Structure 1
Amino acid sequence: MRKLVVSTFVSLDGVMQAPGGPDEDRDGGFEHGGWSVPYFGADMGPIMVEQFAGMEALLLGRRTYEIFAAHWPHITDENDPVATKLNAMPKYVASRTLDKVEWNNSHLLEGDVPEAVAELKQRSGGEINVQGSGNLIKTLQQHDLVDEYRLLIEPVVLGSGKRLFAEGAAPAAFRLTGAQPTSTGVVYCTYERTGKPGYGSFDLENYAEKAREVNIVGGTTST
């Protein structure tokens, strides 16, 4: 089965809306568009190249598709690995309003989106990557279709906006498989799906036993 990966910028309070510009997405009167730009330092470039290198297909919502399609086809420099990859790879678009997509190798998903994405994951091929596309991500989360998150966690609190994890997401557990800080305070974290969440308790009755298990002594820990 193909892996479905969500890659996105996210604030410390979980906002992913309009990281790239003031008018990217003003839904709900959002006034913080472009909040990630001040943290895009020189060491972010290799991270972005790495993100795009592994993907073999792109899955986009309508708004993100239109933003990408207005920009990337005009970047024709053969030495730009991101543009070359994006312009050539298959791109699948979830939209209720578009009746055609013209960017090279783009395809509209037909019928029910969760069913279409589940079928797409069953096809032969490599990684499917979702960029931006907050409404689409919410649908994917509700139907438990995300296998991995690659998050660029920015050192900023916005207080409002569309959250990466909204109410209705299917419960899921993940393990951290990579964490890379940058010079501007961004932390690039990769989380891989492991299954359903586990549960326990830190009630006073079993706290002492649990404390001994993790060697909590005098307010410190040593494992």
Structure 2
Amino acid sequence: MSKLVVSTFVSLDGVMQAPGGPDEDTEDGFEHGGWSVPYFGEDMGPIMVEQFAGMESLLLGRKTYEIFAAHWPHITDENDPVATKLNAMPKYVASRTLDKVEWNNSHLLQGDAAEAVAELKKRSVGEINVQGSGNLIRTLQQHDLVDEYRLLIEPVALGTGKRLFAEGTAPAAFKLTGARPTSTGVVYCTYERAGRPSYGSFALDNYPEKAREVKIVDETRST
């Protein structure tokens, strides 16, 4: 069974809409397209190469597929590791409107997207990676299909836009497995699935013994 990984740029307030350009996604009047571009420093390139190196296949929604398919087939430099990988690898597209996909080694998923992706995970090996595709990501989250997030967290707040974790996301806990800052203030964080959320209480009757000890130590230091 394969692992489903979501890789995306995200603002400090959780927005993932249109990071790459003003016209990428203007849905709901979004006016901040291209917000990620100023933070793409020299040390971002190796991170992107690293991400693509581990992928076995790509999973895309319609809008992201059309953006990628209009660009990457025209990058034919065999020494470009990202373009070479993208143009060759299997690409699966979830769409209710497309009736064919023509980019090399692309396949249109049939029927319900969540069911099709769940079946794809069962019959695939290695990593299935989702790029962009905000609407598709929300469907995957609602059906608890995401195993890992690789987030490029940008030092900017936008106030509006489609958020990575929207209403309806299935509750899930994650474990931080990596954090790497870049020269432009981006932090590349990786989170693996860690079961369901756990809960507690800071009410006095339930206050953890360790927390009581820390509180006593802090009070001692302040006197």
Q: TM-score range by the shorter chain?
A: over 0.9
Residues 157-196 of structure 1 mapped to structure 2, 5 A cutoff: 157-196=157-196
How far the C-alpha of 1:118 sits from its partner, in A, is 0.4
Measured at CA, do residues 220 and 16 of structure 1 come closer, stay the same or move farther in structure 2, by a change above 3 Å?
farther
Q: Is 1:9 aligned with 2:9?
A: yes
Distance (whole Å) between structure 2 residues aligned to residue 217 and residue 33 of structure 1: 49
Where 1:115 maps in the other structure, the secondary structure is helix
Q: Give the aligned residue type for 1:157.
A: A
How far the C-alpha of 1:214 sits from its partner, in A, is 5.2
Distance (whole Å) between structure 2 residues aligned to residue 150 and residue 165 of structure 1: 14
Where 1:195 maps in the other structure, the secondary structure is coil
Provide the identity percentage: 87
Residues 53-96 of structure 1: CA deviation (Å, up to 9, x unaligned): 00010000000000000000000000000000000000000001
Number of the residue aligned with 1:60: 60
Distance (whole Å) between structure 2 residues aligned to residue 168 and residue 120 of structure 1: 23
How far the C-alpha of 1:137 sits from its partner, in A, is 0.1
Residues 143-154 of structure 1 mapped to structure 2, 5 A cutoff: 143-154=143-154
Q: Give the aligned residue type for 1:152.
A: L
Distance (whole Å) between structure 2 residues aligned to residue 216 and residue 27 of structure 1: 52
Normalising by the residue count of structure 2, what TM-score does the alignment of the two structures yield? 0.96
Number of the residue aligned with 2:25: 25
Distance (whole Å) between structure 2 residues aligned to residue 6 and residue 140 of structure 1: 10
Where 1:138 maps in the other structure, the secondary structure is helix
How far the C-alpha of 1:220 sits from its partner, in A, is 10
Q: Give the aligned residue type for 2:43.
A: D
Q: Give the aligned residue type for 1:90.
A: P
| Structure 1 stretches of at least 4 aligned residues deviating more than 6 Å after TM superposition | none
Normalising by the residue count of structure 1, what TM-score does the alignment of the two structures yield? 0.96
Number of the residue aligned with 1:72: 72
Distance (whole Å) between structure 2 residues aligned to residue 219 and residue 200 of structure 1: 24
Residues 126-141 of structure 1 mapped to structure 2, 5 A cutoff: 126-141=126-141
Number of the residue aligned with 1:114: 114
Measured at CA, do residues 172 and 83 of structure 1 come closer, stay the same or move farther in structure 2, by a change above 3 Å?
same
Where 1:63 maps in the other structure, the secondary structure is helix
Name which of structure 1's ranges 206-215 and 31-40 shifts more when overlaid on structure 2.
Answer: 206-215
RMSD: 1.6
Measured at CA, do residues 219 and 22 of structure 1 come closer, stay the same or move farther in structure 2, by a change above 3 Å?
farther
Measured at CA, do residues 181 and 216 of structure 1 come closer, stay the same or move farther in structure 2, by a change above 3 Å?
farther
How far the C-alpha of 1:212 sits from its partner, in A, is 3.5
Distance (whole Å) between structure 1 residues aligned to residue 58 and residue 220 of structure 2: 46
Residues 114-149 of structure 1: CA deviation (Å, up to 9, x unaligned): 110000000142100000000000000000000000
Where 1:199 maps in the other structure, the secondary structure is coil
Q: Give the aligned residue type for 1:37.
A: V
Number of the residue aligned with 1:44: 44
Distance (whole Å) between structure 2 residues aligned to residue 147 and residue 58 of structure 1: 15
How far the C-alpha of 1:218 sits from its partner, in A, is 1.6
Distance (whole Å) between structure 2 residues aligned to residue 59 and residue 220 of structure 1: 55
Distance (whole Å) between structure 1 residues aligned to residue 192 and residue 47 of structure 2: 18
Distance (whole Å) between structure 1 residues aligned to residue 216 and residue 198 of structure 2: 22
Distance (whole Å) between structure 2 residues aligned to residue 216 and residue 152 of structure 1: 38
Number of the residue aligned with 2:96: 96
